[in-house]
């Protein structure tokens, strides 16, 4: 053992099996060292931070009490699982978090047996846990299933759907509600801890079960009254238990999630229960044990690299405004002219730029929590009454509200305006957060206007365009990160619906871009020009309605037509191909058509540039696609040029 190590006890732990060999009085030291290691690791890698610090004791206690991985432990969302990764054989790779080839920032089945269910979208853990518990029962198994879900994730309907089902089935499932933000419970102390131990202990459960049996033999009116007295006394003492009991869960809590003297005995009692389902209400503090995080309003929810001593985060040098901020500022300008404009977000105000709108118009801003289905239909209701709702949701999260887009918005032709952030590949968050599919899943819907901004100036004009579209739904997609640093318009001017633009005129090659790959098309055109290949660059602006006049002209006037988009197969390129085949343009062989889309795989996390390079959607990939269509070898042509 290294005498100078800051984490001497943690250094002896490779897996939770090693942890379980320690004496109970050593668990506190493990938790303290685990917190230190988490702080040190994330200071190097960046990533989700506050939530992980808040569950250090809970993570340690669960792995100490339960027999993981035989006992299944599911972390909802997974951004609080960094301490879990350190304890489960991944400490030596923890400083590779969210980098190419390194550990995922979320739980991932292919990464470890200790991650029985991958999660990066919220509120899935109870459903998955119930599935595992039923599978165990069908197989005659005896292991525990534990789902840890945060209070924010409990704002999603799916969590209640799962609890309702679990309660009705009476399945042996343990749900730990990690209450770190909403403060469902009052300050917790010794009395609450004592009651939780009492209620989770065998004696009380036996008495309670006996009382239930006796009640069955009492006259109904007396039995009902007796039940109600017990239920409401527990609900009152526990502050919040009544709701969970109504759903069929045995409620224990609230308990202090940082006090191992309270946590360990309660978890042991819960582990040894033979009935279920059980909900353990644990109160924690985000950012716990790191002063700068505790003092920060967002508890350092997500950070870039930072200095451990001061908490100062490394500042990137911005050379252009972030797309989300351009959206927020543009919407404020439009709302100053139109009091019918309202903004809706699903628990991501700062991520979508809606926080900027909220500062200007707090009464016209609605954060509905992690409830995308509700957000979409709520927006539809507003639109039905003549308001102009902007529903700002990441592409990856809008997937969660798809039926509502179809049924409540598109079929009724309501003018809900979808502002789709994080379009395309997103870098360190990887496949779970990539905005790969919205072109495809929205493109198939009648009545929808679909736009993609090529740069930040276009985004300003497209926000104005959405305000003007008042007879059908519309969507506008833009990526994560900064724009190109181009000159910005003072005000947005609505674009002509379904009309693209030609950026550069050439004669042999036509590159038709939808979205921010336009910059890469320009680089590719410069390289093609060096090879003597005259290239036209066009920005489609609209996928639906498609600028058919522009598409036909590009196809007829060029030898090769290539579409480029930051989306999966089935999107913009598919719409262009459908139109060209319907018109018989491809029958003559006059033009060679190619469609460049994201590869048909879920791409692992890396830098966005590396991901797009691997996807073949950078300038190099575009040039290679042109030479492939010409039947030439790009390497040989480059050698000739040299």
Hey, which residues does 514 pair with through a beta bridge? 565
What DSSP string runs through 180-226? SSS--S----HHHHHHHHHHHSHHHHHHHHHHHHHHHHS-HHHHHHH
Burial bucket for residue 453 (CB in 10 Å: 0-12, 13-18, 19+):
buried
Hey, which residues does 282 pair with through a beta bridge? 178, 255
Which of 286, 422, 477, 544 does the annotation list as catalytic?
Answer: 286
* Rounded distance between C-alpha atoms, residue 54 and residue 49, angstroms: 9
* Rounded distance between C-alpha atoms, residue 58 and residue 155, angstroms: 22
Q: Which of 514, 534, 511, 453 is nearest to 486 (CA)?
A: 453
Which of 33, 372, 527, 566 does the annotation list as catalytic?
Answer: 372
* Rounded distance between C-alpha atoms, residue 522 and residue 18, angstroms: 56
* Rounded distance between C-alpha atoms, residue 107 and residue 505, angstroms: 48
- Contact between 173 and 125 under an 8 Å Cβ cutoff? The reply is no
* Rounded distance between C-alpha atoms, residue 100 and residue 122, angstroms: 24
Helices vs. strands in the chain: H and E counts, helices first? 27, 19
* Rounded distance between C-alpha atoms, residue 110 and residue 112, angstroms: 6
* 286: annotated active-site residue: yes
* Rounded distance between C-alpha atoms, residue 40 and residue 54, angstroms: 15
Number of Cβ within a 10 Å radius of residue 213:
8
Number of Cβ within a 10 Å radius of residue 189:
12
Which of 400, 477, 517, 544 does the annotation list as catalytic?
Answer: 400
Distances (CA, A) of 109 to 75, 250, 502, 503: 12, 30, 46, 45
* 400: annotated active-site residue: yes
Q: Which of 263, 611, 556, 553 is nearest to 426 (CA)?
A: 611
Return the structure tokens found at 553. 């002209």
Just list the catalytic residues.
286, 372, 400
């Amino acid at each position: 053992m290294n005498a100078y190590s800051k984490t001497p006890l943690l250094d002896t732990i490779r897996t939770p099996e090693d942890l379980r060999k320690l004496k109970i009085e050593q668990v506190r030291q493990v938790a303290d060292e685990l917190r230190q290691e988490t702080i040190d690791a994330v200071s190097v890698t960046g990533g989700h931070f506050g939530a992980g610090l808040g569950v250090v004791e809970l993570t340690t206690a669960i792995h100490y009490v339960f027999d993981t991985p035989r006992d299944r432990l599911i972390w909802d969302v997974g951004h609080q699982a960094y301490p879990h990764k350190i304890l489960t054989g991944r400490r030596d790779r923890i400083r590779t978090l969210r980098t190419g080839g390194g550990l995922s920032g979320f739980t991932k089945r292919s990464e470890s047996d200790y991650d029985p269910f991958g999660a990066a979208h919220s509120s899935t853990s109870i459903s998955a846990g119930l599935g595992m518990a039923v599978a165990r029962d069908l197989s005659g198994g005896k292991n525990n299933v534990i789902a840890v879900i945060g209070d924010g994730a409990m704002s999603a309907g799916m969590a209640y759907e799962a609890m309702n089902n679990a309660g009705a089935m009476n399945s042996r499932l343990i749900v730990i509600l990690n209450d770190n933000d909403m403060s469902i419970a009052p300050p917790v102390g010794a009395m609450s801890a004592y009651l939780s131990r009492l209620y989770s202990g065998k004696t009380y459960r036996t008495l309670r079960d006996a009382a239930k049996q006796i009640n069955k033999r009492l006259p109904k009116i007396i039995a009902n009254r007796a039940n109600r007295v017990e239920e409401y006394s527990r609900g009152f003492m526990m502050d919040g238990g009544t709701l969970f009991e109504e759903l069929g869960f045995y409620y224990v809590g609230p308990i202090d999630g940082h006090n191992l003297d309270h946590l360990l005995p309660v978890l042991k009692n819960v582990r040894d229960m033979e009935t279920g389902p059980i909900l353990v209400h644990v109160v924690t503090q985000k950012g716990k044990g790191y002063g700068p995080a505790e003092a920060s309003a967002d508890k350092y929810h997500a950070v870039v690299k930072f200095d451990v001593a001061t908490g100062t985060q490394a500042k990137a040098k911005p050379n252009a405004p972030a797309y989300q901020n351009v959206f927020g500022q543009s919407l404020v300008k439009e709302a100053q002219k139109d009091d019918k404009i309202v903004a809706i977000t699903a628990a991501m105000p700062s991520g979508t730029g809606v926080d900027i709108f909220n500062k200007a118009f707090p009464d016209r801003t609605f954060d509905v929590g992690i409830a995308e289905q509700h957000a979409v239909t709520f927006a539809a209701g507003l639109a039905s009454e003549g308001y102009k709702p902007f529903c700002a949701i990441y592409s990856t999260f809008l997937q969660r509200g798809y039926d509502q887009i179809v049924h409540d918005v598109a079929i009724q032709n309501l003018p809900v305006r979808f502002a789709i952030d994080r379009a395309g590949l997103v870098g360190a968050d990887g496949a779970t957060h990539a905005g790969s599919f919205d072109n495809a899943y929205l493109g198939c819907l009648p009545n929808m206007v679909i736009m993609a901004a090529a740069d930040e100036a276009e985004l300003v004009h497209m926000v104005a365009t959405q305000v003007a579209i008042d007879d059908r739904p519309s969507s506008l997609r833009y990526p994560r990160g900064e724009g190109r640093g181009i000159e910005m318009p003072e005000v947005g001017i609505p674009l002509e619906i379904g009309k693209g633009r030609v950026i550069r005129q050439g004669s042999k090659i036509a590159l038709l871009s939808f979205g921010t790959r336009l910059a890469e098309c320009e680089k590719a055109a410069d390289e093609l020009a060096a090879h003597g290949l005259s290239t036209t660059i066009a920005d489609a602006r609209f996928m639906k309605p498609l600028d058919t006049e522009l598409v036909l002209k590009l196809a007829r006037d060029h030898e090769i037509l290539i579409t480029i988009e930051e989306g999966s197969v089935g999107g913009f390129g598919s719409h262009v191909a459908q139109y060209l085949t319907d018109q018989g343009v491809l029958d003559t062989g006059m033009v060679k058509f190619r469609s460049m889309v994201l590869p048909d795989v879920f791409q692992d996390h890396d830098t966005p540039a590396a991901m797009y390079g691997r996807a073949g959607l950078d300038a190099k990939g575009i040039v290679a696609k042109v030479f492939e269509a010409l039947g030439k070898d790009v390497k040989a042509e480059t050698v000739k040029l040299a």
